[in-house]
Amino acid sequence: MLAVLTDDGLRKLAGYLPALLDEIDRSFTGLLEPRQLDALLDALRTVRAHARPGAAAGADD
């Protein structure tokens, strides 16, 4: 599956992104201690490796 982000879509996304990131921090990641965030990241990497083998190639871990 392939999706293309148009210039207009990118502008709209850029407009919503700051508020979205603030909400994620306030309601989710900001509630967790650093060790909990590390554990969450490890768990999500496990799920990613199963769902998309090789997706981590070149990623900063």
Give me the residue spans of the domains in the chain: 8-51
Give the model's confidence band at 22: pLDDT under 50 very low, under 70 low, under 90 confident, else very high.
very high
User: What confidence score (pLDDT) does residue 60 get?
Assistant: 61
The C-alpha atoms of residue 47 and residue 43 are separated, in whole angstroms, by 6
Q: Is 45 exposed, middle or buried (0-12, 13-18, 19+ CB in 10 A)?
A: middle
Q: What is the dihedral of CA 10, 53, 55, 51, to 10 degrees?
A: 40
- Check pLDDT > 80 for residue 20: yes
- Measured CA distances, 5 to 9, 12, 31, 56 (Å): 6, 10, 32, 23
User: What confidence score (pLDDT) does residue 56 get?
Assistant: 76
* pLDDT tens profile 35-58: 999 999 999 999 999 999 888 766
